């Protein structure tokens, strides 16, 4: 057998990316787990319009990036082989030649972090070759594939760790894992509500990489990275198949605009090319109106209603529909979504603690645990006092008040005379361009989708559904104040949960 170029180990297109769950791979995973090394398996780096498949990558916070290529070559395959370096491939790290991959990684990190100084080391995983057999190979093989860069079938975990730790520790301060791996694997970069960056959790990575088939559910609370994960999922699906049509449903016009803004921000930051026409973000009424238009039926205006005729007709509008905040929408509409997507895919996203959900996010990116304060008093007077006290040390846009329409209008009138800061009556039926969100916001329970704030004040808790109240409660990053004049079933349940 003649192998003229063994060094094109990372190819742009591969028949399969997924590594086998072999004994050698298991050893490598165990080494990573026991030594605080982060392992990334079967993933892809995207940059502009290009992509590189990476079968196995390990991040060492003290040394840098280890790249691995898995080969099934046996001693019989290699014993009569002589190897010469391919003329179109340079060397890297005086070992295996992955120059194109190194250049791609460094270019991406340089454009996003303005630094490409992260060390990159190369290794070969030889599942069917042991260390003794290696010694009997031609010297050309050993010269270009050095012993210390090959992990053999009989390598012990201690041997593997020793080879990894043979690499030098750089004499400069390396960026942390979020800065390196988050910017390298942008499909796993979570932007929290305070605009800080985080690496996706294992559960989030599994969701983003998964294939949504039929009807599936995602259960995730506020500040769990849910919104970023949904958008990253849509972007990754577009990368995989630019022809796919994806619709994301948000309960309100304002929520749609906020999500579109976040989508554009992610794409701009990530420096990737996404066909924006393939990802659409619309309200439930907008979706239903398209179906009605197809049937030459009158359009809905304010109230969402599902005609029986809609449940009898097919409507092929998207390959994948992601319905965010599905727990805030009517069961009638959810049944409608299941009907029109019965031959396609549907993901229902909710804030229930649903143990039966296909995907669950339990990690929370809040800076502190939510504090819930219950106050039994005249709700208007108490709300004014709490707002006034909070404004002594906080900005007005860090306060969100949620109540019924009558309460929020009355409170708005009182605030005109009580505080110097401006208060805004939120209207989620209007587009973002017509809203001034940089103020103290007053909204109803029907308008809270996509909202968040450092402090949330809840009024009229007994009149709203428990789903709405719990959703509103979790919008608070720091403290939620629950003000009530008389106890109710919702108050009792909330107190029990927050004991």
Task: Kindly give the confidence (pLDDT) of every residue in the chain, 499 residues in length, as a single tens digit, with 9 standing for 90 and above.
Answer: 333 333 333 333 444 456 778 889 999 999 999 999 999 998 999 998 888 888 899 999 999 999 998 888 888 888 877 665 544 444 444 345 567 778 888 888 888 887 767 999 999 999 999 999 999 998 888 887 899 999 999 999 999 999 999 999 998 888 899 999 999 999 999 988 777 889 999 999 999 999 999 999 999 988 899 999 999 999 999 999 999 999 999 999 999 999 999 999 999 999 998 988 999 999 999 999 999 999 999 999 989 999 999 999 999 999 999 999 999 999 999 999 999 999 999 999 998 777 789 999 988 888 788 999 999 999 999 999 999 999 999 999 999 999 999 999 999 999 988 888 889 999 999 999 998 899 999 999 999 999 999 999 999 999 999 999 999 999 999 999 999 999 999 999 999 987 5
Give CA angle at 474 (451, 415), nearest 5°.
Answer: 55
CATH of domain 371-497: 3.40.50.300
What's the confidence (pLDDT) of residue 143?
82
Within 374-465, residue ranges assigned H as helices are 379-390, 405-418
Least Cα distance to 114 among 179, 49, 196, 169 occurs for 179
- Give the phi and the psi of residue 265 in degrees, each rounded to 5: -65, -40
Least Cα distance to 202 among 25, 408, 5, 29 occurs for 29
CA distance 189 to 268: 13
CATH of domain 191-361: 3.40.50.300
End-to-end CA distance of the chain: 71
Domain boundaries, the chain: 23-178, 191-361, 371-497
What burial letters (b/e) apply to 353-373, b meaning 16+ CB within 10 Å? Answer: ebeebbbbbebbbbeeebebe
What's the confidence (pLDDT) of residue 295?
95
CA distance 182 to 155: 31
Burial class (CB in 10 A: 0-12, 13-18, 19+), 147: exposed
- CATH fold match for the domains 23-178 and 371-497: no
What's the confidence (pLDDT) of residue 84?
57
What's the confidence (pLDDT) of residue 430?
94
Q: Regarding the domain delimited by 23-178, which CATH topology (the fold level of the hierarchy) does it fall under? A: Trna Endonuclease; Chain: A, domain 1 (3.40.1350)
Pair 338, 306: CB distance under 8 Å: no
List the structure tokens of 76.
């019989």
What's the confidence (pLDDT) of residue 147?
94
CA dihedral 6→10→14→18, nearest 10 degrees, is 110
What's the confidence (pLDDT) of residue 26?
93
């Amino acid at each position: 057998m003649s192998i003229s170029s063994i060094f094109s180990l990372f190819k742009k297109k591969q028949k399969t990316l997924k590594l086998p769950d072999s004994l050698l791979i298991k050893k490598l995973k165990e080494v990573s787990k026991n030594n605080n090394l982060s392992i990334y398996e079967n993933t892809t780096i995207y940059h502009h319009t290009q992509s590189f498949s990476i079968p196995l990558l390990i991040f060492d916070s003290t040394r840098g990036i280890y790249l691995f290529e898995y080969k099934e070559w046996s001693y019989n395959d290699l014993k009569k082989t002589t190897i010469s370096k391919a003329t179109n491939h340079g060397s890297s790290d005086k070992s295996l030649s992955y120059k194109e991959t190194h250049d791609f990684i460094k270019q991406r990190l340089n454009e996003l972090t303005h630094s490409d100084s992260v060390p990159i080391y190369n290794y070969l995983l030889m599942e069917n070759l042991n260390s003794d057999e290696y010694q009997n190979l031609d010297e050309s093989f050993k010269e270009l594939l050095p012993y210390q860069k090959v992990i053999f079938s009989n390598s012990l975990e201690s041997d593997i760790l020793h080879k990894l730790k043979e690499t030098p520790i750089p004499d400069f301060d390396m960026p942390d894992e979020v800065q390196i791996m988050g910017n390298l694997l942008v499909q796993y970069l979570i932007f929290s509500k305070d605009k800080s960056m985080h690496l996706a959790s294992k559960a989030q990575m599994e969701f983003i990489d998964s294939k949504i088939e039929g009807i599936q559910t995602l259960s995730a609370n506020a500040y769990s990275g849910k919104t970023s994960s949904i958008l990253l999922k849509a972007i990754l699906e577009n990368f995989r198949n630019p022809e796919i049509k994806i619709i994301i449903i948000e309960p309100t016009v304002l929520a749609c605009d906020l999500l579109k803004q976040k989508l554009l921000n992610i794409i701009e930051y990530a420096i990737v090319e996404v066909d924006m026409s393939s990802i659409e973000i619309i309200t439930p009424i907008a979706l239903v109106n398209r179906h009605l238009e197809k049937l030459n039926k009158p359009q809905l205006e304010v109230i969402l209603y599902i005609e029986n005729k809609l449940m009898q007709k097919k409507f092929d509008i998207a390959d994948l529909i992601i319905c965010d905040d599905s727990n805030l929408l009517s069961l009638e509409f959810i049944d409608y979504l299941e009907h029109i997507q019965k031959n396609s895919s549907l993901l229902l996203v909710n804030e229930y603690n649903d143990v039966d959900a296909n995907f669950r996010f339990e990690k929370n990116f809040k800076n502190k645990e939510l504090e819930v304060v219950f106050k039994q008093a005249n709700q208007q007077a108490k709300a004014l006092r709490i707002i006034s006290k909070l404004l002594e040390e906080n900005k007005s846009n860090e306060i969100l008040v949620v109540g019924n329409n009558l309460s929020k209008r009355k409170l708005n009138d009182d605030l005109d005379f009580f505080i110097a800061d401006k208060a805004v009556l939120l209207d989620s039926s209007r587009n973002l361009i017509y809203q001034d969100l940089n103020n103290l916001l007053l909204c109803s329970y029907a308008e809270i989708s996509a909202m968040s704030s450092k402090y949330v004040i809840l009024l009229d808790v007994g009149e709203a559904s428990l789903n709405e109240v719990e959703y509103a409660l979790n919008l608070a990053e720091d403290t939620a104040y629950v003000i009530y004049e008389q106890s109710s079933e919702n108050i009792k349940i909330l107190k029990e949960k927050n004991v």
